[in-house]
Each structure stands twice: as structure tokens, then as C-alpha cells.
Amino acid sequence: MALLELLHILVLVYWLGGDLGAFVASRIVADPARPPAGRAAAAKILMDVDMAPRMALIFAFPTGFALAVYENWLPIGAIWIIPAFALALVWAVAAWMVHLKSGPDGLAKRLDMAIRLAALIGFAGAGAAGLAGLIALPLFMAGKLLLLALAVFAGLMIRRMLAPFGPAFGQIAAGQGDDAANATVRTSLSKARIWVFVIWAAVLGAAALGVLHPV
């Protein structure tokens, strides 16, 4: 039990800490006054540091789910903890393959996206059903699931906002950037930061519910 509690706390620590590091690095990436090589190095740091909150997102559910089972907040057997962690491990491997650009072309990216969409639907559906009293779920846990769904959705929106970033920043890193490329990078990152704030609010809200579990 103590180990599960520690793991669940570390999810919060690495999620917010990693996001903060990526946030700071993004300011350097967007700064046109810095040399292309420095901005490229900052972008590499950003992507590497961002793996911490990605892993935190993936393991937030199985660690919280296991705690809920052992605390008897969920009337189900502990055997269900195994598939929860197994799915998280599959998701984690896919996320790392996407990051490292390894494995069959596009397979890991499609798998990662499929699991994200399934997680979004599952968390939102279970949270809404819990609040409506359709399933036996403490209200604070239903709220945490809805906030986790919000975090997943915000992550998907960040990807969408950053879609123009890659081609534009590729020009800059190659020393061929112009005002249009810099404007695209700056705008993409600015739009993405809005959803980063949404993630921070969702994570802090879920943490507060987990500590207080008022209902």
C-alpha cells in the first residue's frame, strides 16, 4: 500500500515538474533572438523532458486504480489491477517508440493515439456515470476521472496546436528560417501553452480530490 501511495505521489511530482521544465524550454525555442543551434538544443531538451509528464499521464490511472481497490473504494477484485498496469505498460512502450522514432513506420503512433482516445472516452464515461449514480463509485473518484479525461483531451489539443510547429521549426533549425517560420513557431507554442495551463489545473484539481476526498 505504501509503495502504491508513493508511486501515485510521484506521478504528480513528475507530471508537474516535467511540464514546468518543458514550459521553460519552450520560451527559448520560440525566441527568434537566439541562434538556431541553441533553439534546436532547447527543442531537444523540451521533447526529452516532456516524456516525464507523458509517463505520469499513462501511470496516473493504474496507480490510482490500484489504491482505490485496496482502499475498498471500488467493489471489484484485485485481479483487475494486473490488466490495468499491463495496458499502461503497452501504452508506455508505444509512447517511447514514438519519441525515439523506432519500430514499424507509424504503428506506435497509431497505437498511442488509439489508447489515448480509448482512455479519454473511458475516463469521461466512467466519471460521468459515477456522478450520475449509474455505477458504484465515490464522487471524488468520479471527479478525478473527469479531470484525468480533461488532461488527456488537453494533451490531444496540444498536439493539434503544435501541428504546424514541426515543419516551421525544421526550417529554423536548418538555418533557413524566416519571419513567417518564426511567427508559426511562436503562435503554435502560444496556443499550446493555453492547454498546458488546463492540464496543470486538472492535475492539481485531481490531487486535491485525492487528498481531501470530500465525498
pLDDT digits (tens, 9 = 90+) for 171-208: 988 888 788 999 999 999 999 999 999 999 999 999 99
- Candidate from 48-52, 77-81, 102-106 with smallest mean pLDDT: 102-106
Closest CA to 195 of 155, 146, 164: 155
**Cα distance between residue 114 and residue 101, in whole Å:** 17
Residue 18 has pLDDT above 60, yes or no: yes
Q: Percent of the chain beyond pLDDT 70? A: 97
* Range(s) of the domain holding residue 156: 2-212
The tally of domains found in the chain comes to: 1
Cα-based torsion angle of the residue sequence 99, 86, 6, 97 in order, rounded to the nearest 10 degrees: -10
For 103, phi then psi, to 5°, come to 85, 180
The confidence score (pLDDT) of residue 179 equals: 86
Determine contact, residues 138/215, Cβ cutoff 8 Å: yes
List Cβ neighbours of 30 (8 Å cut-off, separation of 6 or more). Answer: 185, 186, 189, 190
Residue 146 has pLDDT above 60, yes or no: yes
Read off the pLDDT band of 3 (50, 70, 90): confident
User: Higher confidence at residue 117 or residue 136?
Assistant: 117
> Looking at residue 18, what DSSP letter applies?
H
CA nearest to 141, candidates 198, 55, 212, 35: 212
Kindly indicate the confidence band of residue 47, based on its pLDDT and cuts at 50, 70 and 90: very high
